[in-house]
Amino acid sequence: MSPLRRARPVVQLSAHRCGAGQDRTLENTRVALDGALRLPVEYVEFDVQRCGDGTLVCFHDDWVWVGDRRRDLAELTFAEFAARAPHFLRYDEVLPALVGHARAHIDLKFSDPAAVVDAVGQAVAVLGADEMIVTTLDDRTVRVVRDWADEHGHDLLVGLSLGRRVRGLPLNRQLRIRASELLPRVRILNSRANLVVANHTLARLGIAAFARRRGLPLLVWTVDTEDSLRYWLRPGRAWLVTSNEPALALRVRAGLERSRRAERRRGLEGSEP
């Protein structure tokens, strides 16, 4: 192929759980968010849960320890949640913090349709639809958001996440879930997802090829090792990569870009008469 071929776009980066790295206590916290905003990543990813009083919080799990019991967030007021997890951010704190710094990668962990629409509408009002993406494991939630976006004239990317945890589920259910992920055509069509979101292992097993065939952007999560980052950050492999190690990912991407520029220079020199 000619060295003068059209260059493929650089793969973008999303700082997973506000770029907390391997320290789970920092996930979705102000410390992690401030660190991510100092990096030239294109997106910052954060999880959104809903407390029982309707307050949206940046938190991954749908439960917290209360004494020696696990209590669902849906049963707790924000004050009760904050008493157990005071260092986590509220949703309405994160959105304005991103303005002018990075786009929002909003991973919804709840599925009440009215609450979902309200949360997405709030983000669009603060950031604009072109400065955010929405991802979720729930097919119905994808469709709710896509239908809402179309109704209001927003060109919003909404992704169906493939690769949910199945450990502990009955074997037949595990197999059904994985089959629906490895062959996701029906789910993508029914949910109206316009962004394919896949665990990096499943992406290599065919989901990346599916996204290319359908002409859909591909988001790959969560890529943390240097070898895996080197694979997925090659232009054309994905549209966006989510990483717990955004600083490492940026170094790998910069190294790939330097190598690509050097290769193009050598190609141009070799093509001179």
The average pLDDT across 166-195 equals 96
Q: Band of the pLDDT at 270, cuts 50, 70, 90?
A: low
Domain with 100 in it: 12-271
Contacts of 134 by beta carbon, 8 Å cutoff, 6+ apart: 106, 108, 120, 123, 145, 156, 157, 158, 159
**CB distance 43 to 133 below 8 Å:** yes
Across the range 208-233, mean pLDDT stands at 98
Identify whether 2 is part of a domain. no
Does residue 6 surpass a pLDDT of 70? no
The verdict on residue 217 lying in a domain is yes
How far is residue 132 from each of residues 98, 99, 110, measured CA to CA in Å?
10, 11, 18
Asked if the structure places residue 5 within a domain, the reply is no
Name the amino acid, one letter, at 139: D
Domain count, the chain: 1
Q: Is residue 4 part of a domain?
A: no
The CATH number that applies at residue 107 is 3.20.20.190
> Residue 2 — pLDDT band, cuts 50, 70, 90?
very low
- Structural domain includes residue 7: no
pLDDT above 90 covers a percentage of the chain that reads: 85
pLDDT tens for residues 71-100?
999 999 999 999 988 899 999 999 999 999
Is 145 in contact with 134 (CB distance < 8 Å)?
yes
Of 52, 12, 27, whose CA–CA distance to 244 is shortest? 27
Question: Minimal CA–CA distance to 109: which of 33, 162, 48?
Answer: 48
Judge whether 134 lies within some domain. Answer: yes
Query: Is residue 1 assigned to a domain?
Result: no
